Amino acid sequence: MKKKVVFVCGTFDAAGGKPSSIAQELFAGFTAKALCPGLEEFDCTFMNGGSLADLEHAAHKAASAHVVIWLANVPNDHPKNCVRSIKVINPTCVLVTSKRSVEKGYSIPAVVQHALELHSNLVILFTAIPSQAKGRYRAQLIDPLGNLFWDGTSMTEFHELGAVLNLRVSYLLSIRRMGTVKAIGSCPETPPQEEEFIKYVRSAAHKFAELIPSPEAINRFVGNASFRCSHGFPAVKEDRAIYVSRRNVNKQDITMSDFVPIIGEADGKLLYCGDHKPSVDAPIQVRIFELYPNIRYMIHGHVYIKEAPTTETVLPCGALLEANEVWEHFPEPDQEAFVLNLRGHGFIAGSNELSTLRLLTGGMVSRPMLESQLKWVHGRLGEVKPPELS
């Protein structure tokens, strides 16, 4: 059964709106099997401009779609601008939004912040270009980690961008994640004391802040940390005695109370204790602890470690495949330490000793913003040469 895609673009207003020729090319490329035989075939609904009533109808369709590509031109403060509610109503969909850097310029960190606020999986940045250039707009396909998957200006390139959008959306749909649910019943009453680890995490977080560009102060405290409790607690297996930093906490000020106990699984979800959800990467780190019984401490940040090995696959946040990537590079269950750069994401490191973890993560360097992933694109659109970056 084909997955449903709702593609909403063009201008929507009280006067009946206006279609977008760029969006028409994007949609043509999105559905062009002739351009790339590997494109996924979707059950598509395409709405290109219309009235405000049409916009409400589009929002209704988006509520049950697998993919929502929302490029509608509606003022941000307009009461009919539905984009902010899409992920609230349909949290499991792949959401693609747009940002116009035309009337007002936006930095890349601001565009990333826009994607994070809307919980977008991808964002298309439209930028005005000089009249003497070969097109009126430049379009860039970016993800919330600051990865660049396409960059073009001409109508032909917008057609190709549609194909790339299909490929990346299809890949994101294939990614397996694991949810979390609050445990009822037995939970640890007294958290373990790991003050030296807490100090290390704070220090690392300060380094992250220095290396990650954020002129608009990206409101997401990137990275997370976890540790295995060496003594366990009642009613919980030793290998499940794991604490993970809670979601959206400032790691520069983290305390032991900001770590969430993970006590097992139920119905395919992680069980956590307390009122705060653990990091979205908690399922990954629990899997890594399972793979390596000797690892006690773990840290993840959105920077790279100089001279560490690097993965090839560009995975989104929360993908369980990340644990597989670590295993592929370190396939020994008795491993006592590792550090790995996750392409287009950051690094993850683990160790049985805190002193070793400090050494492994001593060579932090910033990730580029934007980080080009055109190689990923070219590997899937073999017959289409991606444009060169300016």
On whether residue 372 sits in a domain, the answer given is no
SS3 214: coil
Q: Both 28 and 145 in a single domain? A: yes
Do the Cβ atoms of 11 and 54 come closer than 8 Å? Answer: no
Q: Which of 30-34, 163-167, 336-340 has the highest mean pLDDT?
A: 336-340
Rounded CA separation 247/258 (Å): 9
pLDDT at 217: 42
Q: Both 70 and 123 in a single domain? A: yes
Query: Which of these ranges, 32-46, 240-254, 371-385, has the smallest mean pLDDT?
Result: 371-385
On whether residue 374 sits in a domain, the answer given is no
pLDDT at 74: 86
B/e letters for 181-200, b = 16+ CB within 10 Å, e = fewer, are: eebeeebbeebbebeebbeb
Of the candidates 292, 321, 305, 295, the one whose C-alpha atom is nearest the C-alpha of residue 366 is 305
Give me the amino acid identity at 286.
Answer: V
The sign of the torsion formed by the CA atoms of 367, 373, 374, 379 equals positive
Q: Can you name the residues that pair with 265 across neighbouring β-strands?
A: 270
C-alpha distances in angstroms, 334 versus 328, 342, 351? 14, 22, 11
Do the Cβ atoms of 38 and 164 come closer than 8 Å? Answer: no
Q: Both 9 and 155 in a single domain? A: yes
Rounded CA separation 319/304 (Å): 18
- The count of residues in the chain is 390
Do the Cβ atoms of 125 and 99 come closer than 8 Å? Answer: yes
More confident residue, 105 or 24: 24
Q: Both 148 and 296 in a single domain? A: no
Give me the amino acid identity at 219.
Answer: N
Count H helices and E strands in the chain, helices first. 10, 18
Q: Both 156 and 208 in a single domain? A: no
The rounded mean pLDDT for the chain is 87
Average pLDDT over residues 311-320: 94
On whether residue 216 sits in a domain, the answer given is yes
On whether residue 199 sits in a domain, the answer given is yes
On whether residue 386 sits in a domain, the answer given is no
pTM attached to this predicted model = 0.89
Q: Can you name the residues that pair with 158 across neighbouring β-strands?
A: none
Average pLDDT over residues 324-345: 97
For residue 232, is pLDDT > 50?
no
Confidence class for position 292, pLDDT limits 50, 70, 90? very high
On whether residue 198 sits in a domain, the answer given is yes
Q: Both 218 and 312 in a single domain? A: yes
Of the candidates 11, 7, 8, the one whose C-alpha atom is nearest the C-alpha of residue 19 is 11
Do the Cβ atoms of 34 and 47 come closer than 8 Å? Answer: no
pLDDT at 388: 43
Query: Which of these ranges, 239-243, 261-265, 368-372, has the smallest mean pLDDT?
Result: 239-243
Of the candidates 295, 249, 298, 303, the one whose C-alpha atom is nearest the C-alpha of residue 276 is 249
The residue segments making up the domain with residue 151 are 4-174
Q: For the chain, how long is the longest CA-to-CA vector?
A: 71
SS3 141: strand
Q: Both 86 and 118 in a single domain? A: yes
Q: Both 184 and 160 in a single domain? A: no
Q: Give the count of domains, the chain.
A: 2
Q: Which of 181-195, 213-227, 343-357, 370-384 has the highest mean pLDDT?
A: 343-357
Query: Which of these ranges, 13-22, 72-81, 138-147, has the smallest mean pLDDT?
Result: 72-81
pLDDT at 99: 92
Question: In this predicted model, what pLDDT tens digit does every residue of 217-227 receive, in sequence order?
Answer: 444 557 899 99
On whether residue 377 sits in a domain, the answer given is no
Q: Both 328 and 262 in a single domain? A: yes
Confidence class for position 192, pLDDT limits 50, 70, 90? confident
More confident residue, 135 or 63: 63
The sign of the torsion formed by the CA atoms of 301, 304, 306, 309 equals positive
Of the candidates 383, 380, 381, 373, the one whose C-alpha atom is nearest the C-alpha of residue 151 is 373
Residue whose tokens read 């401009």:
49
Query: Which of these ranges, 57-61, 79-83, 379-383, has the smallest mean pLDDT?
Result: 379-383
Q: Both 193 and 289 in a single domain? A: yes
Confidence class for position 362, pLDDT limits 50, 70, 90? very high
| Backbone angles phi and psi of 137, in degrees to 5 | -125, 150
Long-range contacts of the stretch 80-84 (C-beta < 8 A, 24+): 80/12, 80/52, 80/55, 80/56, 82/55, 82/56, 82/58, 83/118, 84/117, 84/118
Helix 282-291 to helix 321-329 angle, to the nearest 10 degrees? 30
Average pLDDT over residues 284-288: 96
Average pLDDT over residues 289-304: 96
More confident residue, 187 or 139: 139
Q: Both 78 and 161 in a single domain? A: yes
Q: Both 152 and 204 in a single domain? A: no
Question: In this predicted model, what pLDDT tens digit does every residue of 18-59 receive, in sequence order?
Answer: 999 999 999 999 998 776 777 889 999 999 999 999 999 999
Rounded CA separation 20/151 (Å): 19
pLDDT at 236: 42
The CATH number of whichever domain residue 51 belongs to comes to 3.40.50.10300
SS3 160: helix
The CATH number of whichever domain residue 216 belongs to comes to 3.40.225.10
| Backbone angles phi and psi of 220, in degrees to 5 | -150, 120
For residue 383, is pLDDT > 50?
no
For residue 92, is pLDDT > 50?
yes
